[in-house]
Structure 1
Amino acid sequence: MEESLQYFYNKFFDAAWVIQLVVLALSWVFLCNGGVWKKEIRFRVCLEFLILLAVLMGCNVGFFMPRHAFIIIWNVVHGIVSAIYLRICSKFNSKAKIVMWCSMYASIICLSAIAGQISFLTGEFLSKGLAEGVIRCIIYLFIIPVAFYLRAFNFDEYEDMPNSGLALILLSDFSILVLSSVETIWFGIDYRIEICLLASYFCIFIIVVVAIYAMYAMCKEKADTIALQAEKQRLLSERELAIMTESNLEDLRCIRHDLKNQYAYMQILLKETRYEELQHYFQQVAENLPFQLSYIDCGNQIINTILNIELVKANKELIPVEHQLLVPPVLPFSEDDLCAIITNLMDNAIEECRRLRLEGNENTGIRIEIYPQKSYLYIMCRNTTSRKQLNHWRSGLRTTKKDELLHGFGTRIVVRLAEKYNGCAEYSLKDGQFIAKVLLDLMNEEGNL
């Protein structure tokens, strides 16, 4: 007990210890709020810092026990306190909070251990006392740049975080705690052991720093891939619209040519008072009117264009399409986003029906509904399917195609765009039908009706 009280006395009046706790509290505040504080939040952030510092100090001096046990318990308590602080005060989303906490916690424990090892080696080979404290504080100060480094990676932009990267950081946290426990047993026995531990902590710290960058790069690459897929879909739709327009123009030229010949023939029959032949000719013309000129008109020009392109695709595959459409002429959504949502839903439906027809199932069909529902635009696309269950993957559905790297982005694009407009997307199966439902907020920030 006397040894514990002496250790507490030395710690409480150790200036280096106070500096370390100040740096520790500052690093978590910087990670949570960033480095530039606006006037309206400056008081709140300062209050957060003082409360966090007081809690950390209280936890630190509250343990009257031998040094070895103190280090283990302190690491655990520090992790719990910092996690609670980040959970309450941070504006990161839940996944980003986990990533940030794991990375920061691992970095702090590593740098704390490195500071302790270098401080010990300084005392062994250079000078004890002031030199040890100065070295320990200098190493500890690197925690603040690490906080700014982690803060630079805004994971709030990305909802898909690789589980492998998070698992690597969690493994690093566990490894550090195990290594810290081993250190408490071997501390001060031999400087060579301290050097080995120092190298181990340094390697783990580098792994954490690189892992967080790799996670961010993977998230960014995934987001860029989805954006490129959406852009590709838009360009394909524009190309198909151009082809459809040219085809319609050619059909109109042919119809115009036929009408001129028909008018000339009817004029001859009329002049010659051959009324029975004229009536019979009218019946033939009525029976052979071109049915290809079917056209969807829902009240919105953009959606008209998109759906008519999709209707042409479905007609080529002999897939019947039912629709219930009542759309306001002006919508507060990007034309590209609307195109991406409807095109992905319809293309997936057409592709599934095409697959079933190739397998011999002729009883296929698609139904599309678009209309306002309270303050949302409701979009529902339903198609025949042979699926028995849906394999959800991240924010979308797992593709049934072999190459998952190049496919399976459509459902995720729809979900991401729905969330962009304060809405949601839902996929389900019912009575042999695949049903996709999307809600888009008509009163979103990008525009009002």
Structure 2
Amino acid sequence: MAIPGISFLVLVFFLLRINSYPDTLFYLEFSLITAFIFINMATAFIYSQFCNLLQRNTDILLQQQIKLSEQYYEDLSLSQQRLKGIRHDMKNHLQSLSWIAARITPKSRETEELQEYLGQLIQDIGEASQILSTGNMGMDAILSLKIGQAKEQKITVHSKISVPKEMSLATEDSIIILGNLLDNAIKACRENPEEKRWICLDIHYIPHSLFIRVTNPLPLLPETSEGHEKNSGFGLKNVRTAVKNYHGVLEIQEEKECFTVKILLYDL
């Protein structure tokens, strides 16, 4: 914006000095003044167009990122459902093999070890098959992914979820809200010893409303234990923006040992 300012000063300077020159120089000064005015207007126009172009490009990139995220979680949900079916069939096959092994005679140490091995595989498949299934594809995908990440960090997740299969909650908003809340909770738990790593997740649908509550222990490390809400960074900021889309309410409670985020979304 320096050029418009300089143009204005030059314009004032010429206007003050016009009466000091002969009439023959008037047209030269008038031409210079006109040129400065044109430069000023052109600069303002170019700057305005540049700002609009930058905003449009930012919006396009954001929409592309949202679409890619939606596609990723839809593909993830479909893959989880296929994997769940494969595990179910595999469990049936292993149970059949275990039944056959139990009836092999005469008994030997090898058959007993085979039975124990098959039993352990059946148990492992049963535990691995406990994929979160709320019936809502977008929510299933993000919750399954984040709960899986939590378990990899030795974090115990206690969840109570009751939602309908169809809601007017956009997939991108469920990803932003649940993804960021669980990311923050996982990050806080990682800074605690394993016995203090836990997350409580409650999601309940009330007619036309959705209640979400995420609770986790505050990090014990001195450098991160203060101002946990502030340290959550852009995560909570993005959550607040998504909550506003549903005229919702976000409440944060930071107690002595726990950090809780409560959200209530309307018009669903």
TM-score > 0.5 by shorter chain: yes
Return closer, same or farther for 1:342/1:188 CA change in 2, 3 Å cut-off. farther
CA contact under 8 A between 1:425 and 1:437: conserved in structure 2? Answer: yes
Counterpart mapping for 1:171-320 below 5 A = 182=13, 185-190=16-21, 191=26, 192-266=28-102, 289-290=123-124, 291-298=127-134, 300=136, 302-320=138-156
Counterpart mapping for 1:18-417 below 5 A = 168=1, 182=13, 185-190=16-21, 191=26, 192-266=28-102, 289-290=123-124, 291-298=127-134, 300=136, 302-347=138-183, 349-350=185-186, 352=187, 356=190, 361-362=193-194, 363-372=196-205, 376-383=209-216, 384-385=218-219, 386=224, 388-389=226-227, 397-398=233-234, 414-417=239-242
Task: Quote the RMSD (CA, aligned, Å).
Answer: 4.4
Question: Partners in 2 of 1:208 and 1:221 — Cα distance?
Answer: 20
CA contact under 8 A between 2:250 and 2:264: conserved in structure 1? Answer: yes
Question: Partners in 2 of 1:219 and 1:428 — Cα distance?
Answer: 36
Return closer, same or farther for 1:262/1:294 CA change in 2, 3 Å cut-off. same
Return closer, same or farther for 1:365/1:380 CA change in 2, 3 Å cut-off. same
Higher relative contact order (CA 8 A, sep 6+): 2
With structure 2 as the length reference, what TM-score do the two structures score? 0.66
Alignment partner, residue 421 of structure 1? 246
Question: Partners in 2 of 1:178 and 1:233 — Cα distance?
Answer: 52
Question: Partners in 2 of 1:324 and 1:304 — Cα distance?
Answer: 13
TM-aligned CA deviation for residue 259 of structure 1: 0.4
CA contact under 8 A between 1:387 and 1:432: conserved in structure 2? Answer: no
Question: Partners in 1 of 2:13 and 2:261 — Cα distance?
Answer: 54
Q: 248-257 or 429-438, which moves further after superposition?
A: 429-438
Question: Partners in 2 of 1:293 and 1:251 — Cα distance?
Answer: 7
Larger radius of gyration: 1
- 1:289 partner SS: helix
Return closer, same or farther for 1:246/1:333 CA change in 2, 3 Å cut-off. closer
Select the structure that is richer in strand.
Answer: 2
CA contact under 8 A between 2:74 and 2:137: conserved in structure 1? Answer: no
- 1:294 partner SS: coil
Return closer, same or farther for 1:388/1:174 CA change in 2, 3 Å cut-off. farther
CA contact under 8 A between 2:214 and 2:262: conserved in structure 1? Answer: yes
CA contact under 8 A between 2:76 and 2:141: conserved in structure 1? Answer: no
Alignment partner, residue 441 of structure 1? 266
- 2:167 partner SS: coil
TM-aligned CA deviation for residue 173 of structure 1: 7.1
Question: Partners in 2 of 1:435 and 1:221 — Cα distance?
Answer: 36
TM-aligned CA deviation for residue 206 of structure 1: 1.5
- The one-letter code sitting in structure 2 at the alignment partner of 1:296 is L
- 2:128 partner SS: coil
Question: Partners in 1 of 2:160 and 2:77 — Cα distance?
Answer: 22
Alignment partner, residue 109 of structure 2? none
Question: Partners in 1 of 2:214 and 2:38 — Cα distance?
Answer: 54
Question: Partners in 2 of 1:233 and 1:434 — Cα distance?
Answer: 28
- 2:91 partner SS: helix
Return closer, same or farther for 1:391/1:348 CA change in 2, 3 Å cut-off. closer
Return closer, same or farther for 1:223/1:310 CA change in 2, 3 Å cut-off. same
- Tell me the alpha carbon deviations over residues 126-148 of structure 1, each in whole angstroms, 9 at most, x when there is no partner: xxxxxxxxxxxxxxxxxxxxxxx
- The one-letter code sitting in structure 2 at the alignment partner of 1:326 is S
- Tell me the alpha carbon deviations over residues 243-301 of structure 1, each in whole angstroms, 9 at most, x when there is no partner: 544544443344222200222345569xx9xxxxxxxx89x959x73322334355645
TM-aligned CA deviation for residue 209 of structure 1: 0.8
Return closer, same or farther for 1:325/1:247 CA change in 2, 3 Å cut-off. closer
Alignment partner, residue 93 of structure 1? none
Alignment partner, residue 111 of structure 2? none
- Tell me the alpha carbon deviations over residues 30-69 of structure 1, each in whole angstroms, 9 at most, x when there is no partner: xxxxxxxxxxxxxxxxxxxxxxxxxxxxxxxxxxxxxxxx
CA contact under 8 A between 2:131 and 2:144: conserved in structure 1? Answer: yes
Question: Partners in 2 of 1:188 and 1:296 — Cα distance?
Answer: 84
- The one-letter code sitting in structure 2 at the alignment partner of 1:420 is N
CA contact under 8 A between 1:230 and 1:340: conserved in structure 2? Answer: no
The percent of aligned pairs where both chains have the same amino acid is 16
CA contact under 8 A between 1:422 and 1:440: conserved in structure 2? Answer: yes
- The one-letter code sitting in structure 2 at the alignment partner of 1:325 is I
